[in-house]
Structure 1
Amino acid sequence: MKKLLIALVFVLSVGLTTASAQSFRIGVHGGVPVGDVSDTHNFDIGGHVSYMFNPMGVFQFGGMVGYSHYFGDSVDEGGIQFDYPDAQFLPIAATGRASLGDAVFVGLDLGYGIGVNDGNDGGFLWRPKLGFDFMGVGVVGSFENYSMDGGTVSSVNVGVEFGL
């Protein structure tokens, strides 16, 4: 499944190279884990690089690769201290966005987050986004979710993107 998804993202990215308008973006984010993972992890940071094509005016499509790091927490349960390990993902995804006006956009990343740390097999990634773009710098809010066997790892994030 991992290989199929990675191949799909690669083919999608390469297949769109005939489009005329292109954008290269670098972004960083910080966030707060939500759901079950909020009991065991306390913060998420990450970054990404994306390359998108603009074949239809208001729509952009392309590929994205990044890194997300969820910091483990120490939790006291019934007098016993548990130290949860950090969770790290290498997301590889198809990415897209649509302009809703001069500066506002909505977007979505769909792909796979490869688990980097021991015991993390990774999972399906989906990340809806809402952002404001001003002269090549964007402020982006997103909900990041990795769906894996046995649960999910999710966070609500705020970040910045720089267009090159």
Structure 2
Amino acid sequence: MPPLFMPFCCILFAVSIRSMLMKIIQLNMKKILLLLVMTIFTSQIFAQEGFKMGIQAGLPFNDFNEALSVVVGVDVSYMYPLGEVVDIGPAVGFIHGFAETFQSNIVRADLKPVQFAPLSAGVRIWTSNDFSFGGNVGWALGVSEGNDGGLYYRPTIAYLMSSSVEINFSYTGIELDEATWSTLTLGIVYNFEPKYRTRR
């Protein structure tokens, strides 16, 4: 897989997910369910079960591009297999956005870090033995001062490097009252004693 293929795919996937969330009432859910069922029964792939812990780092853009410099995060989850193709499970995490401290060599003392604690449900669809895509949807609790949190969504594309280690590329969106938190992050996930469900 070319090095730039995953980032471009994830950006396109993130745009699609965000559009879907904003217009979910207008979608034909029967067609979506049918598409998911077709994916499940026409794929020869490996689902994965187990406890996971991940760390990620990335950059903000749009509304928080000038207010923050770097974003880091950590999350833990447990995925349950839904057949051989789909994993689902809960996840909790913590996100910290470092305030931008320099702009043209002038200290920006008025800016403060931004922190969230997302609580979400995740889904992962395996398209091969090593490659998967999916996402999390939930609510991000605001931790930093003056932060009320908002709707949280995080589409992800992942590549399983070994039975216990995967790398992923994701877009994180949080719908706040007057802005949208938008970041692109690269992460690594460790799977504790993973179990597999294979199609025979």
Shift, 1:76, TM fit = 5.3
Q: In the alignment, is the contact (CA less than 8 A) between 1:72 and 1:83 conserved in 2?
A: no
Q: In the alignment, is the contact (CA less than 8 A) between 1:30 and 1:44 conserved in 2?
A: yes
Tell me the residue number matched to 2:51: 24
Which one of 90, 115, 120 corresponds to residue 88 of structure 1? 115
Return the alpha-carbon distance in structure 2 between the equivalents of residues 163 and 71 of structure 1: 28
- Matches for 1:1-164 after TM superposition, within 5 Å: 22-74=49-101, 81=108, 83-133=110-160, 134-164=162-192
Shift, 1:82, TM fit = 5.3
Return the alpha-carbon distance in structure 2 between the equivalents of residues 38 and 58 of structure 1: 37
Which whole-Å deviations, capped at 9, do the CAs of 1:35-86 have from their partners, x for residues lacking one? 1201110100010000110022110001000000011113659x99553110
Tell me the residue number matched to 1:4: none
AA at the equivalent of 2:136: D
Q: 1:75 and 1:152, CA in 2 relative to 1: closer, same or farther beyond 3 A?
A: farther
1:83 is paired with a residue of what secondary structure? coil
List alignment gaps of at least 5 residues for structure 2.
Answer: 1-47, 193-200
1:36 is paired with a residue of what secondary structure? helix
Return the alpha-carbon distance in structure 1 between the equivalents of residues 97 and 155 of structure 2: 19
Return the alpha-carbon distance in structure 2 between the equivalents of residues 80 and 51 of structure 1: 42
Normalization by structure 1: what TM-score? 0.82
Q: In the alignment, is the contact (CA less than 8 A) between 1:26 and 1:50 conserved in 2?
A: yes
Return the alpha-carbon distance in structure 2 between the equivalents of residues 158 and 76 of structure 1: 25
Identity percentage of aligned residues: 27
Q: In the alignment, is the contact (CA less than 8 A) between 1:29 and 1:157 conserved in 2?
A: yes
AA at the equivalent of 1:59: V
AA at the equivalent of 1:145: G
The structure whose Rg is larger is 2
1:120 is paired with a residue of what secondary structure? coil
AA at the equivalent of 2:56: H
Greater strand fraction, Structure 1 or Structure 2: 1
Return the alpha-carbon distance in structure 2 between the equivalents of residues 32 and 94 of structure 1: 24
Normalization by structure 2: what TM-score? 0.68
Tell me the residue number matched to 2:42: none
